[in-house]
Copies of this chain bind each other. A is one copy, B any other.
Amino acid sequence: MRWSQTFIPTLKEDPAEAQVPSHRLMVRAGLIRQLVAGAYTYLPLGFRALQKAIRIVREEMDRSGALEVLMPAIHPAELWQETGRFADYGDTLMKVRDRKGALLVLGPTHEEVITDLVRNHINSYRQLPVIFYQIQTKFRDEPRPRFGVLRTREFLMKDAYSFDVDVPHLNQSYEKMYQAYCRIFDRCGLKYVVVEAESGPIGGEASHEFMVLAETGEDALVECEQCRYAANLERAEIGDREVAAAPLFAKELRKVHTPGRSTIEQVSGFLQCLPQQMIKTLIYLADGEPVAVLVRGDHEVNENKLRRTLGVSRVELADPETIERVTGAPVGFAGPIGLKVRLLADRAVLLVAGGVTGANEMDYHLVGVQPGRDFQPSLVADLRIAGDGDPCPRCSGVLRLRRGIEIGHVFKLGTKYSAKLGAQYLDEKGQAHPIIMGCYGIGINRILAALIETSHDENGIIWSVSLAPYQVLVLPLNVAQPEVQQTAERIYRQLSEQGIEVLLDDRDARAGFKFKDADLIGLPLRIVIGEKTLQRGEVEMKWRHQSESFTVPVEQAAHRAASEIRNALQRLS
C-alpha cells in the first residue's frame, strides 16, 4: 500500500481527552476516531491491526475444535428475564423498544442465546461435548467509558461457550480453551500473566483471567516475586507466614475514652497508634445469621473467602440495628471481647500484640488487647484481601501488587444457565441432567490497546510483527530524486511479491516529518532509502524496537527484510 493511497490522519498533538498511552497513540497514529462516548471508528490502519488480531483468534479457536457461529446482537428481553439477568445487568443493558412495542436487548454477552440454542437442539450425551464461539459486537452501557478502546460501550468480543456431560469433561474443554488463549496471546506478542480469579459455583480453580501488566490497567492483582502464582484481589490466597507488628501499648487491657471517634482513621489518629495495631470487628450476616469477623485495622475482609470459609451462600454486612443488638453499642465501637456471636479472625489478627479494639460501648475503645488471652476466635483463617507484601500461598516468596488489563477470561459456569433455561441431556440410561457449561471471552479491541500500552516509547507505537498493520515501511528520503524513488518502488514491489505487507511512504515531504510519522505508527521494520547510502549501494534498515539501524546492500534489501519478518513471525508462533 502507498501512503498517498490510504488514509492515515496522524496528529502531532496528543488528544486532550486521552489519559493513557494506548488511547493517545491510537488516535495520534490515525488508527481510531471516536464517534460518540465509548464507540470508535477503526480507520484503515487500525482496522488492519484489528483484522490481524481477529485472524489469530479465529485460527486458534478453530484449531482447538471450537465451532464458529454468529449470533444476533438483538435479543428478546424475555430470554434475559428467564435467567434473571435482565434485572441484574441494570442500566448496563441497552434496550430497544421495537415498532410493535416488544422489548429487545442489545447483547452484552450471549450465555442466554447460546443456551437457548442448545436446549432446542441438543438432548443426548452423544451430541456432547461441543464448544461454540463467535467474534461479534457487544453492547454495554458502561457508566464511565474511557481509556480509548479499553472501556467502550460497543466492542468486538470473541465469546465461546462449552457444553459437557460432567465436570471432568468440562475440565477438558476448559483446558483446551486455556491452551488456545495462551497460543493466541503468545502469537500476538503480548506479555501476560494468567491470574486465578474467583471460583465459580462448582469450586476449584474455576476461573482465570489473562492479564497484561500495565500501570494504567484498571484491574488490581497480586503476583509472587518468586513463583508464578498470580491472582486477582478477590481471589488471591495469602500464605500463613504472617509477620507480627511490634506492640505499641503495654499488654494490659485498658478501656479508653474515644469520644466521637469510630473509624480506624479517627481512632488511630486520636490514640497515636498505627492501623496495623488495631483489630477491626465487623458484624456480618451469613445466610442471615450474625457473625463477627476480625481483621487487622489496615486490612479488608474478603467476602468471598468469608463465604467459602463459612460454607454459606451469601454474606453481607449487618444493618445498624443488628450491630447494636449484637454489640450493645452503635456502629463503630464493636470489639471481640464479650461478644456472644461466632467469632472469626483473619490469621494476621492473632499476631497483634497490645492492640486496639472497640469496647462494645459508645465512645470507648480497649487498648492492650491480647488475642488468645482476652478473646478466643472460634475459627482462624485467611479472610482478608491480599495486598502488597503479603506472603505467597505457594512458596516462600512475597506477593506484589500489580495493575493489569484483562484481555481474556475463562470461566467454569457449571449449571448456572443450563439449569435456569432447562438445557438438559439424556445419558446412556435415558436419565436427564443439566448440561455443564463453561464460558470464555477475549476482548479483541483490548488486544491492540494492551499491546500498545506495554509496547511504545515517547515517539509512538512499537507493534509486534504479528499485529502490525503492515510489517515493513519503505521510506524514501526524497521522492523527487529519481534513483531514490525508483529503488524504493522496486523494493516495495519485491516485498509485495514475496507476500510481505508493506507500506511505501511515497509522500513528497521532508525526511524529518516522515521519520516522525514512521515512529508514531510504529511498523516493525523500516527501510530507509537515501541518496548517500545508495551511492554506497546500500539501504538502511531499522527495527522499531531497537535503537540501532544497520545497512544492507540494496540488491539484498527485499530478500533480507522478508526473511527477517518471516523469522520474527516464526518466533511468535
- B73 pairs with A73, CB closer than 8 A: yes
Q: Does A96 lie at the interface of the complex (its beta carbon under 8 Å from any beta carbon of B)?
A: yes
Q: A90 — nearest CB in chain B belongs to which residue? A: B99
A116 contacts across to B, CB distance below 8 A: 35
Which of B7, B50, B51, B65 meets A5, CB within 8 Å? B65
> If A96-B106, A106-B96 touch, does A117 touch B72 (CB 8 Å cutoff)?
no
Give the distance to chain B from A79, nearest Cβ to Cβ, in Å. 8
Partner of A35, one of B68, B75, B98: B75
Q: Give the interface size bracket for A toward B.
A: 35 or more
What's the least CB distance linking A137 to chain B, in Å? 6
> Do A98 and B141 touch (CB < 8 A)?
yes
Q: Which residues 36-71 in A have Cβ within 8 Å of B in the complex?
A: 36, 39-44, 47-48, 50-51, 65, 67-71
Q: Does A214 contact B (CB under 8 A)?
A: no
Cβ–Cβ contact A36 & B74, under 8 A: yes
B42 touches A70 (CB 8 A): yes
Q: Write the chain B residue with the least CB distance to A91.
A: B99
Given contacts A7-B130, A36-B74, A67-B7, contact A96 B96 (CB under 8 A): yes
A98 to B98: give the CA distance in the assembly, Å.
Answer: 16
* Complex contacts, A98 vs chain B, CB 8 Å: 94, 141, 153
Interface SS of A by simple majority: mixed
In whole angstroms, what is the CA distance A141 to B101 when docked? 11
- Most B CB atoms within 10 A — which of A36, A106, A127? A36
> Which residues of chain B are near A255, meaning CB under 8 Å?
none
With known contacts A94-B96, A113-B35, A42–B69 Cβ distance under 8 A: yes
A9 within 8 A of B: yes
Q: Is A104 an interface residue (CB 8 A)?
A: yes
- Interface flags, A325-350, vs B, CB<8A=1, else 0: 00000000000000000000000000
Chain B, residue nearest A33 (CB): B117
Residues of B within 8 A of A86 (CB): none
- A5 CA to B66 CA in the complex, in Å? 9
B39:A141 contact, CB within 8 angstroms: no
121-162 of chain A: CB within 8 A of chain B: 121, 127, 130, 132, 137, 139, 141, 143, 153-154
Per the bound structure, the CA–CA distance linking A153 and B50 in Å amounts to 26
Considering only CB atoms, which chain B residue lies closest to A139 in the complex?
B74
Distance of A399 from chain B, by nearest CB (Å): 36
Contact of A422 with B by CB under 8 A: no
Which chain B residue lies CB-closest to A152?
A: B72
A239 at the interface (CB under 8 A from B): no
**Additional A-B contact list (20), CB under 8 Å, known A41-B72, A73-B137:** A5-B65, A6-B67, A7-B67, A7-B121, A33-B120, A35-B76, A36-B74, A39-B72, A41-B113, A42-B69, A42-B70, A42-B71, A47-B68, A47-B70, A72-B154, A73-B73, A73-B139, A74-B154, A91-B99, A92-B99
The 10 closest A-B CB pairs, nearest first, are: A39-B72, A42-B70, A91-B99, A44-B67, A36-B76, A41-B71, A9-B121, A99-B141, A94-B96, A39-B74
A sample of 30 inter-chain contacts (CB < 8 A) reads: A7-B121, A7-B130, A33-B117, A33-B120, A35-B71, A35-B74, A35-B75, A35-B113, A35-B116, A36-B75, A36-B76, A39-B73, A39-B74, A40-B72, A41-B69, A41-B70, A42-B70, A42-B71, A43-B69, A44-B68, A47-B70, A50-B70, A51-B68, A72-B154, A73-B154, A74-B154, A94-B96, A94-B98, A95-B96, A98-B141
